[in-house]
Amino acid sequence: MKESFLEKVENKEKSSEDKITPEEFFDEHEKAIEDYAGDTGIIFRKGNRWAINMEEGEATYDPKFFNEKGYSDAEAMWATCHEVEHFRNWLMNPEAYSKLFSKIKFRRRLRVLYNCLDDIMVGREVDKRFPAHKETKKFLYKEKLFPKEGFSAKESDNKSRSALPLHLQFAYTMLREKMVPEEVLEIDPKVRKEIEKLKNIDGEGTDLISLVSDPQADPEDRYEIIRDFIEPIYEKFFQEDVEKKKKGGDKGEDQEEGRSKKKEDYFEDEYDDFDDKMPEPIPLDDIKEELDKKIKEIKEKQKSSEEKAKDQFEKEYGVSAEEIENYRSNYKKIERYIEPLREIFERIISTRKEIKRKLKERTDQGVIIDPSMITQAYIDAKSGVLDSRTQLKIRKEEHDENKPSDFEFSLICDLSGSMKENYPGGKSYEQKMCAILIMEALAEFEEKLKEEREEKNLNLHVLTEVRGFGSEDEELKEMSDTIDYKTRVKIGKRLASCDAGSTCDYLSLAKIDKNIDEEVRRKIENNDLKKIVLLITDGGSDDIRQAKKEKKALVEAGVITKAIQIGKAGKGDKERFKEVWQRPKKDGYSCKSVSSLVPTVEKLLEDFLVDL
What confidence tens digit (pLDDT) does each residue in 439-476 have?
A: 999 999 999 999 888 877 788 899 999 999 999 999 99
Give the CATH number, domain containing residue 527.
3.40.50.410
Type of residue numbered 70: G
Q: What is the CA radius of gyration of the chain?
A: 39
Residue 491 CB contacts under 8 Å (≥ 6 apart), including other chains: 435, 439, 466, 476, 477
131 or 495: whose pLDDT is higher? 495
If asked whether residues 220 and 362 sit together in one domain, one would say: no
Of all residues in the chain, what percent carry a pLDDT higher than 70?
A: 84
482 or 363: whose pLDDT is higher? 482
260 or 62: whose pLDDT is higher? 62
pLDDT(420) > 70: yes
> Which domain does 524 fall in, by range?
329-349+404-609
Are the C-beta atoms of 330 and 492 separated by less than 8 Å? yes
Query: Across residues 406-419, what is the average pLDDT?
Result: 94
If asked whether residues 388 and 421 sit together in one domain, one would say: no
The pLDDT of residue 18 is 52
The pLDDT of residue 360 is 46
pLDDT(363) > 60: no
The pLDDT of residue 366 is 54
Tell me if 323 is assigned to some domain. no
The pLDDT of residue 247 is 87
Type of residue numbered 68: E
If asked whether residues 386 and 517 sit together in one domain, one would say: no
| Domain finish residue from 368, 398, 428 | 398
Query: Across residues 336-344, what is the average pLDDT?
Result: 90
Tell me if 301 is assigned to some domain. no
Tell me if 521 is assigned to some domain. yes
Where residue 389 falls among pLDDT bands split at 50, 70, 90?
low
Query: Across residues 130-149, what is the average pLDDT?
Result: 87
Query: Across residues 9-13, what is the average pLDDT?
Result: 49
Burial class (CB within 10 angstroms; exposed 0-12, middle 13-18, buried 19+) of 259 = exposed
324 or 525: whose pLDDT is higher? 525
Query: Across residues 572-598, what is the average pLDDT?
Result: 91
The DSSP code sequence of 430-447 is: HHHHHHHHHHHHHHHHHH
If asked whether residues 22 and 103 sit together in one domain, one would say: yes
Per residue, the 3-state secondary structure of 511-575, as one string, reads HHHHCCCHHHHHHHHCCCEEEEEEEEECCCCCCHHHHHHHHHHHHHCCCEEEEEEECCCCHHHHH
Q: How far apart are CA 602 and CA 612, in angstroms?
A: 16
Are the C-beta atoms of 107 and 260 separated by less than 8 Å? yes
Counted domains in the chain: 3
293 or 358: whose pLDDT is higher? 293
Tell me if 298 is assigned to some domain. no
If asked whether residues 178 and 144 sit together in one domain, one would say: yes
Of all residues in the chain, what percent carry a pLDDT higher than 90?
A: 49
Type of residue numbered 201: I
Residue-wise pLDDT tens digits, 550-578? 999 999 999 999 999 999 888 999 999 99
Cα dihedral 65/69/75/77 (nearest 10): 0
Question: What's phi and psi for 59, nearest 5 deg?
Answer: -145, 150
pLDDT(102) > 60: yes
Q: Which of the residue ranges 68-77, 145-154, 571-580 would you say has the lowest mean pLDDT?
A: 145-154
If asked whether residues 509 and 532 sit together in one domain, one would say: yes
Residue-wise pLDDT tens digits, 523-549? 999 999 999 999 999 989 999 999 999
| Domain finish residue from 366, 382, 398 | 398
Query: Across residues 363-389, what is the average pLDDT?
Result: 59
Cα dihedral 331/337/340/343 (nearest 10): -20
Query: Across residues 4-17, what is the average pLDDT?
Result: 47
173 or 71: whose pLDDT is higher? 173
The pLDDT of residue 401 is 57
Across all residues in the chain, what is the average pLDDT? 84
- E strand or H helix that includes residue 259: helix 259-264
If asked whether residues 484 and 376 sit together in one domain, one would say: no
Question: What's phi and psi for 543, nearest 5 deg?
Answer: -140, 90
pLDDT(511) > 90: yes
Compute CA distances 567 → 35, 468, 593, 594, whole Å: 75, 18, 6, 6
pLDDT(15) > 70: no
The pLDDT of residue 87 is 87
Tell me if 20 is assigned to some domain. yes
The pLDDT of residue 200 is 94
pLDDT(220) > 90: yes
Give the best-scoring range by mean pLDDT among 158-162, 206-210, 344-348.
206-210
Where residue 347 falls among pLDDT bands split at 50, 70, 90?
confident
